[in-house]
């Protein structure tokens, strides 16, 4: 993680003209958009594996505050000069920035951490599959994107793959699912992420990406600080262990800063719907990482789940199949 942070600092500290030039074939191409969405999802999957069990150590709002404090602390030294230079532009688009901050930073992540305290992992994973469906509907309403037959086939295929993966092929466990209050929090989080992705598509192009993220990170963090302090009255005392510090650094720098940079780029290039379909690869990545890092057993259900997930993503996102 320190090497990732160091690389980010090195890149941002380069003079503007000295920054590596993106090859012309990579500029704003759909391939770049797909890659950004895929790598963002890959980092988020590592978040699930590395930060597993962190919710039992740190209360949900406090965890969200620590996450975004870390991300803000890392990006602001470089974003601040750009923010100051573009202050007139940012002031003109302040309503858009506030909406992005409250939805994508303050509320969305807090809802997920609250859900983790009040429901189980299976319920969370299954309900998370509703997010791309929300995006498809909202993109149709607000962006006029068509709901093609192949997108629906891909959506169904990916959902079947995820259910196969998380149930390990034993679909009877679905009958024993118990409804919990955390399921409502997770469903709300999925809807909010869809709204954030649609809103992100309307990001003013004149705003520098780092100024945009630095501003939204800072605005989104502000309500979390008093909320986290208030939360201390309702939860037992806790402390940051070395393991917890490492996990917070990962979710703060990797799952927040780097992934949000990649996701913003992906949504800008290929749109929220295609990016959200690629997000369906998250459970598959989690399964692969759990096998190699945690030593969890791989079964036939994993193989079938992977085929359905990635097959569904291909059908739903391939340009030639969605004209």
**How many whole angstroms from its chain centre is CA 305?**
21
- pTM of the full predicted structure? 0.80
Locus of tokens 């991300």: 71
CA-CA distance, 63 to 115, in Å (whole number)? Answer: 13
In sign, the C-alpha dihedral spanning 2, 254, 203, 321 is positive
CA-CA distance, 274 to 294, in Å (whole number)? Answer: 31
Q: Is residue 307 classed exposed, middle or buried when 0-12, 13-18 and 19+ CB atoms within 10 A define those classes?
A: middle
CA-CA distance, 134 to 138, in Å (whole number)? Answer: 6
For residue 5, the surrounding DSSP H or E stretch is: helix 2-13
Position 226 scores a pLDDT of: 96
Contact in structure between 248 and 70 (CB atoms under 8 Å): yes
CA-CA distance, 165 to 286, in Å (whole number)? Answer: 10
Phi-psi category of residue 276: left, alpha or beta, with phi > 0 → left and psi -120 to 50 → alpha: alpha
Contact in structure between 225 and 65 (CB atoms under 8 Å): yes
In sign, the C-alpha dihedral spanning 227, 233, 235, 239 is positive
Tokens at 293, concatenated: 């890092």
Tokens at 108, concatenated: 């969305």
User: What residues of the chain score a pLDDT lower than 50?
Assistant: 1-5, 7-12, 14-27
Find, among 312, 61, 309, 3, the residue nearest to 163 by Cα.
309
Tokens at 235, concatenated: 């939860």
Find, among 222, 251, 295, the residue nearest to 74 by Cα.
251
Compute how many other C-beta atoms are within 10 angstroms of the C-beta atom of residue 103: 19
Q: Where are the beta strands (DSSP E) in 149-295?
A: none
CA-CA distance, 210 to 8, in Å (whole number)? Answer: 12
Position 120 scores a pLDDT of: 67
Position 125 scores a pLDDT of: 67
């Amino acid at each position: 993680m320190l090497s990732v942070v160091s690389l980010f600092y090195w890149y941002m500290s380069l003079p503007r003209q000295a920054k590596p030039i993106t090859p012309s074939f990579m500029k704003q191409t759909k391939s770049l958009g797909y890659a950004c969405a895929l790598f963002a999802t890959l980092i988020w999957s590592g978040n699930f594996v590395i930060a597993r069990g962190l919710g039992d150590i740190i209360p949900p709002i406090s965890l969200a505050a620590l996450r975004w404090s870390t991300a803000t602390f890392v990006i602001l030294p470089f974003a601040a000069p750009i923010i100051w230079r573009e202050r007139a532009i940012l002031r003109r688009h302040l309503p858009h920035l506030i909406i992005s901050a409250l939805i994508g930073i303050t509320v969305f992540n807090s809802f997920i951490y609250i859900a983790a305290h009040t429901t189980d992992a299976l319920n969370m994973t299954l309900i998370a599959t509703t997010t791309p469906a929300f995006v498809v509907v909202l993109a149709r309403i607000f962006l006029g994107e068509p709901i093609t037959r192949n997108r629906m086939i891909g959506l169904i295929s990916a959902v079947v793959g995820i259910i196969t993966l998380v149930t390990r092929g034993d679909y009877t466990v679905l009958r024993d699912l118990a409804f919990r209050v955390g399921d409502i929090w997770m469903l709300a989080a999925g809807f909010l992420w869809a709204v954030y992705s649609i809103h992100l598509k309307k990001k003013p192009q004149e705003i520098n990406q780092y100024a945009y993220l630095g501003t939204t990170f800072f605005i989104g963090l502000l309500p979390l600080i008093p909320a986290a302090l208030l939360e201390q009255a309702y939860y037992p005392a806790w402390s940051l262990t070395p393991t917890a510090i490492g996990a917070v650094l990962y979710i703060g720098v990797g799952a927040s800063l780097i992934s949000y940079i990649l996701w913003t780029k992906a949504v800008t290039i290929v749109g929220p719907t295609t990016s959200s379909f690629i997000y369906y690869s998250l459970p598959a990545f989690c399964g692969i990482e759990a096998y190699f890092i945690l030593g969890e057993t791989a079964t036939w259900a994993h193989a079938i789940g992977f085929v359905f997930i990635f097959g569904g993503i291909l059908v739903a996102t391939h340009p030639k199949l969605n004209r």
